[in-house]
Amino acid sequence: MKRFLLTLLALVPLAGLFTGCTTVQETGRSQVMLISPSAESQMGLQAFSQIKQEEKILKDPAVNARIQRIGTRIAAAVGRELPDAKWEFVVFDAPDTLNAFALPGGKVGFYTGLINLAESDDEIAVVMGHEIAHVTSRHGGERYSQNLLAAIGGAAVAIGTKDDKNKELYLLAYGAGSTLTTLAYSRSHETEADAVGLRFAAKAGYDPRAAVTFWRKMAAKSGGGEPLKWLSTHPPTGERIANLQRLAVPLMPVYEAAKAR
């Protein structure tokens, strides 16, 4: 019992304010949230600087400028939904790594493997929108909170006695970095990020139909039996592709208007 209490005490400051429950702005879904947005941003920032040290940053100015250009437009579309964002878009030189992620605080990482597969700016934009939607919907924070509750409630209270362990939990929650193991987002998080992210892309003037072509390509890729981490956490199911097709229809006027500007 004493150990359990000590563990709890160790967890409290790391979790920031116990805010309990919040609502996802875009969808109105309520979620468990035991971490404040500022604590989340702080951990996102720390994680991002760690990843930048561990991974090889791409030197190619043309590719960097391209991701920067797409990112700037998506960031403008996200606007106040991520009020404290200090946007940063970094390309990692790893042609075999099919991965992309976004962290709280507005930190976005793209691996060259995924950029090469995506081909068009529209396809890159829908992936970026999706990843940023995980952040605006605070999916990592939610998962972190769920993990924390499980740790507190379960027998495995050894977790959280070290700061490192807690940070690890958090990193896992956002699936950042190419070398870390990842927990898959739940299907409901994926569906929510698809809907919210596609709206960001359309608002930024990118064709929402690109999500369909991109995921079809991903589906073809998944047949190759390659161990692709991002793919394993983002299954390109027929159901997902059909849903994206439906979601793109009402977004076409949004996209056309943004493009005409």
Q: Known catalytic residues?
A: 131
Q: Which is nearer to Zn ion, 135 or 193 (CB)?
A: 193
Q: Which is nearer to Zn ion, 16 or 71 (CB)?
A: 71
Least distance from Zn ion to the Cβ atom of residue 129, Å: 11
Least distance from Zn ion to the Cβ atom of residue 189, Å: 7
The one-letter amino acid at 50: Q
Q: Which stretch binds Zn ion (CB under 5 A): 104-112, 147-155, 158-166, 187-195?
A: 187-195
Residue at shortest CB range from Zn ion: 193
Segment 138 to 167, residues that bind Zn ion, using CB under 5 A? none
Q: Which stretch binds Zn ion (CB under 5 A): 73-81, 117-125, 185-193, 200-208?
A: 185-193
Q: Which is nearer to Zn ion, 7 or 138 (CB)?
A: 138
For helices 187-203 and 121-136, the axis angle rounded to 10 degrees is: 120
Least distance from Zn ion to the Cβ atom of residue 23, Å: 20
Segment 13 to 52, residues that bind Zn ion, using CB under 5 A? none
Least distance from Zn ion to the Cβ atom of residue 233, Å: 7
Number of residues that bind Zn ion (CB under 5 A): 1
Q: Which is nearer to Zn ion, 92 or 215 (CB)?
A: 215
Q: Report how far apart, in Å, the C-alpha atoms of 61 and of each of 90, 92, 111, 125, 128 are.
A: 11, 12, 15, 19, 19
Q: Exposed (0-12), middle (13-18) or buried (19+): which is 196, by Cβ within 10 Å?
A: buried
Long-range contact list for 247-253, CB < 8 A, 24+ apart?
A: 247/194, 247/195, 247/198, 247/208, 247/211, 248/198, 248/208, 248/209, 248/211, 248/212, 251/198, 251/199, 251/202, 251/208, 252/202, 252/208, 252/209
Count each helix (H run) and each strand (E run) in the chain, helices first: 11, 5
Segment 188 to 227, residues that bind Zn ion, using CB under 5 A? 193
Name the site residues for Zn ion (rule: CB under 5 A): 193
